[in-house]
Amino acid sequence: MEHPTPTRPPVPLRKWLWNSYVRAALVPLLLIELSFVGLYWGTSRVVYDRGAQAVTNLATDALTDTAQREASVIARRLDKIAAVTSIFADETARALTTPGDTTPQEKARYAQSPDGSFYTTRDAGPDTGSAAVFYSGVVPVGEAERQKVWRTVKLDPLMVSIARTDPLIQQLYFNTHDSYNRIYPYFDVLDIYAPKMDIPSYNFYYEADATHNPDRKVVWTESYVDPAGSGWMVSAIAPSYSPDRLEAVAGIDVTISAIVDQVLNLDLQGDSYAILVSRDGTILALPPKGEADFGVSELLTHGYEEAIKQDTFKPGEFNILRRADLAEIANALQSSPAGHQKLDLGRPMIAAWSTIPGPDWKLVVLSSEASILTEATSLREQLALVSKLMLGGLVLFYLLFFAFLWRRSLGMSARVARPLAEIEANMLRISDGGRIAARPAYEVAELQTVGDHLVSMGTRLDTANRAKANFLSAMSHELRTPLNAILGFSELLEMAQGERLDADHMKQIKAISRAGWHLLQLVEGVIDLSRIEQDEIRLAMQPIDPMPVLRDARDAVLPAIGDRKISVTLAKQTDALPQVLADQGVLGRILTHLLSNAVKYNRDGGSVRVEYDLSDPATLAINVVDSGTGIAPELQSRVFTPFDRLGHENSAISGTGIGLAICKRLAELTGCTLSFTSESDKGSVFTLRIPRA
Q: What is the mean pLDDT of residues 670-685?
A: 91
50, 366 contact by CB (below 8 A): no
pLDDT at site 349: 87
515, 611: one domain: no
Please give the pLDDT value at position 479: 44
**Rg for the chain, CA atoms, rounded:** 50
239 and 253 part of one domain? yes
Same-domain status, 524 and 632: no
Tell me the C-alpha distance between 534 and 74, whole Å.
79
* Structure confidence at residue 423 (pLDDT): 74
Residue 655 belongs to a domain with what CATH number?
3.30.565.10
My answer on whether 518 and 629 are in the same domain is no
Length of the chain: 693
In a domain, 469, yes or no: no
**529 exposed, middle or buried (CB, 10 Å; 0-12, 13-18, 19+)?**
middle
Torsion angle defined by CA atoms of residues 350, 356, 360 and 362, in that order, rounded to the nearest 10 degrees: -20
- Residues 526, 566, single domain; the answer is no
Select from 324, 349, 375 the last residue of a domain.
375
d(CA 320, CA 323): 5
pLDDT at 478 exceeding the cut of 50: no
pLDDT at 8: 66
- How confident is the model over 295-317, as a mean pLDDT? 50
Quote the number of domains for the chain: 3
Does 635 lie in the same domain as 511? no
Are residues 526 and 590 located together in one domain of the fold? no
Give CA separation, 200 vs 177, 197, 208, 621, in Å: 6, 9, 10, 74
Cβ of 493: how many Cβ atoms within 10 Å? 14
Same domain, residue pair 516 and 582: no
Summarised one tens digit per residue, pLDDT across range 219-271 is 988 877 765 556 678 899 999 998 889 999 999 998 887 777 777 777 777 78
In a domain, 341, yes or no: yes
Q: Report the 3 state secondary structure along 135-199.
A: ECCCCCCCHHHHHHHHHHHHHHHHHHHHHHHCCCEEEEEEEECCCEEEEECCCCHHHCCCCCCCH
At 608 the pLDDT is 93
Query: Is residue 386 a part of any domain in this protein?
Result: no
- Beta-strand relationship, 567-570 and 607-613: parallel
- The reply to whether 77 falls in a domain is yes
pLDDT-above-70 percentage for the chain: 74
**pLDDT per residue as tens digits for the range 3-52:** 555 566 776 766 766 677 667 766 777 777 777 777 767 776 776 677 66
Residue 482 lies inside a defined structural domain of this protein: no
For residues 525 and 662, state if they share a domain: no
Among the candidates 375, 409, 432, a domain finishes at 375
How distant, in Å, are the alpha carbons of 110, 301, 420, 447, 625 from that of 413? Answer: 121, 82, 10, 14, 65
Residue 472 binned pLDDT confidence (cut-offs 50, 70, 90): very low
Judge if pTM exceeds 0.85. Answer: no
> Mean per-residue pLDDT for 152-177?
91
Helix (H) or strand (E) holding 274: strand 273-277
Domain membership flag for residue 315: yes
Query: Is the predicted pLDDT of residue 92 greater than 90, yes or no?
Result: yes
Nearest Cα residue to 252 out of 181, 174, 199, 176: 174
Contact 181, 134 (CB under 8 A): yes
Give the pLDDT mean for 611-620: 92
Residues 524 and 562 both lie in one domain: no
Evaluate whether residue 407 is within a structural domain: no
Range of the domain at 273: 34-375
Distance of CA 118 to the CA centre of its chain: 66
Residues 96 and 187 in one domain: yes
Domain contains 424: no
284 versus 594: the higher-pLDDT residue is 594
Residue 87's nearest CA partner among 153, 161, 148, 151 is 161
How does the average pLDDT of the chain come out, rounded? 79
pLDDT at 182 over 90: yes
Please report the pLDDT score of residue 239 as a whole number.
95
Domain termination residue (choose one: 505, 531, 557):
531
CATH number (domain holding residue 304): 3.30.450.20
Q: Judge if 198 and 222 occupy the same domain.
A: yes
